[in-house]
Chain A
Amino acid sequence: MMILSNILLPLLFAIVTAMLRKQITALKWSALIFAVALVVLNGIIIDKVSQFDYLVVQVGNWEFPHGITLAVDRLSAVMLFISSTIVLFVIIYSWHTMTTEYFKNYYLTFVFALLMGVNGAFTTSDLFNLYVWYEVMIMSSFVLITLGNTKEQLTGAVKYVTMNILSSLFFLAGIGLLYAKTGTLNMADLAQKLTLSQDAALINSTAILFFIGFGIKSAIFPLFFWLPASYHTPPLPITALFSGLLTKVGVYSLLRFLSIIYIHDKLFWQVFLLTIAGLTMVIGVLTAASQYEIRRILSFHIVSQIGYMILGLALFTPLGIAAAIYYMLHNIVAKTNAFLVAGLIEHQTGTFHLKKLGNLFKTRPWLALFFAIPALGLAGFPPFSGFIGKLSVIQASIESQQYIIMTVAVIVSFFTLFSMIKIWMEGFWKENQETDESILGKPKLHFSSVLPVAFMGIITIAMGLMAQPLFEFLLKASNQLLDMDGYYNALKSPL
């Protein structure tokens, strides 16, 4: 029931926020309470999963694998938790940074609808159901990215919408072919049927369609173009929300889906994924280095860092996958945080553009501190979360003797540092007459927009310093992900 409420509650919240939209204060407070409730719920789910390994619901009590089975394992649980946490932070951040117009125009409704889709995607074990949640998610994201209808938003949205629809269509076509071949839609059932079958390799051609579908969603090379074209156009809280949730659903799906079919064509997937991972890392980081707009730098970096996650997946060892999940969690927190700090910079100076910024180190030292934490985190400096991420990825590569990709990963992290330092030098250190206090004044900073930034900074540090329990959990999660029999049995006859 708890799992199902992860889908039904956001729906309920979406409806309630839609009804409350005229009473702004009530709306904001109720949204806050809803978000907190979801965080608590997912905290409990993590606790339960640690005890029982799997939480399974056969929706409508239909016999497995005929109905839709919702199943939460450690990977799902931790993704659910982090997503609802990000939503909570973004709602708090939006409190004063979003104008009332947005709240009146269903902003929070769409946020909860988006979360419903995301939660559904993390919970379901049914491929077609996953497609449906994808659609809920992208439909909500379409509306969110265009909310406000500025010219930039619409221009970015055309690309965003087209490529995302295309991704769904590839995915749907894949489902059609897969069903024709295997007669099942449930992933655990599929895994079981493939292990029992002699011809498991025959579904590899179908797997392409899935890979392209998920690949577009997770913005890997060469399918990422929609992301840098659109992510910087909507109001900042929406960008931050997207950077935390959307591509990660794609990566999650890749992890989940490939864990089933990887073993049936091991050599191919390894070489293929390693190539993709390397190119994604390199292209993302090089394009990021050329940018002078903070949001664009960060957007391109999303692409680059997806590469690290794919790298962990490509190794397909327990450590590699654990590293990929850790990297994903680290990235969700640090990247969302970096975007929120960018928002604070814009709030204080009126611009995201590095050429117009300057001198913030002197005039806003606290902003420098807020920026330094996620920036050093993303660049992989110790003792922040990114360091553990980088360390575990390198360790996993060495363990699998993949020295080339290890070298690429190390070099890319150097250029990541370069981009972060670039923001620092241009935005914080450089002298700039235009940013003089007398011209700018001192825009009032609300507690609500600082709180999430500070909190996520603390998480970034804590994930580094207290990595032991988290990494232990993730290593179990990755072993669980690789254990197909366990998955099947848990779904077939849940506790």
Chain B
Amino acid sequence: MELILAILIGVLFAAGTYLLLRRSIVKLVMGIVLISYATNLILFNASGLVQNGLAFLNKDGSYDKMTDPLPQALILTAIVIGFGLTAFLLALKYKFFKITGTDDLDQLKETDAS
């Protein structure tokens, strides 16, 4: 399964990169979302996939099939943070379009070389 997951992550990364290299800001945001999915999966991969394993203890502290709970906690944090960032990025995108009237990233030149 690790192999399948690794391929999936690779594909997500590739698709994200491709979208980041497009000129549309919407695609850029989508690219970032895809790459952040992929990084979450990298963390998930680190917990050493155990099918039907749970990060739960029984009442007496015993457990049946345990998966590494730490990466899960990290992913949880990362998902929430990622959501915050994406939301901000979308708001920025919205405001940018409202003020400049363009979605084309190649039009963003004037703040660079003068």
Contacts and interface: CB of A to CB of B under 8 A. Distances in A.
A–B in direct contact per CB < 8 Å: yes
Interface residues of A, number: 41
Given A155-B108, A166-B32, 13 more contacts: A132-B77, A151-B100, A165-B32, A165-B36, A165-B85, A169-B39, A172-B42, A176-B45, A180-B45, A180-B46, A180-B48, A228-B112, A233-B111
A233 B44 CA distance: 39
Interface in A89-146: 128, 131-132, 135, 139, 142-143, 146
A139 B43 contact: no
Interface in B38-71: 38-39, 42-46, 48, 70-71
Nearest to B96: A154
A11 B37 CA distance: 29
Interface of A: 128, 131-132, 135, 139, 142-143, 146, 149, 151-152, 154-159, 161-162, 165-166, 168-169, 172-173, 175-177, 179-180, 185, 228-230, 232-233, 290-293, 296
B43 A154 contact: no
Given A158-B96, A159-B108, A179 B43 contact: yes
B23 interface: no
Contact of A176 (B71, B77, B100, B112): B71
B45 A154 contact: no
29 contacts: A132-B81, A135-B81, A142-B88, A151-B99, A152-B110, A154-B96, A154-B100, A155-B96, A155-B110, A156-B111, A158-B92, A158-B93, A158-B105, A159-B108, A162-B28, A165-B32, A165-B36, A166-B20, A166-B32, A169-B39, A172-B39, A175-B74, A176-B43, A176-B46, A180-B45, A229-B112, A230-B111, A233-B111, A290-B113
A172 B78 contact: yes
Contacts, number: 100
A261 to B, nearest CB: 18
B22 interface: no
A85 B25 CA distance: 38
9 closest Cβ pairs, A-B complex: A176-B42, A180-B46, A176-B43, A156-B111, A179-B46, A173-B39, A154-B96, A172-B39, A135-B81
Interface centre among A135, A173, A228, A233 (most CB of B within 10 A): A173
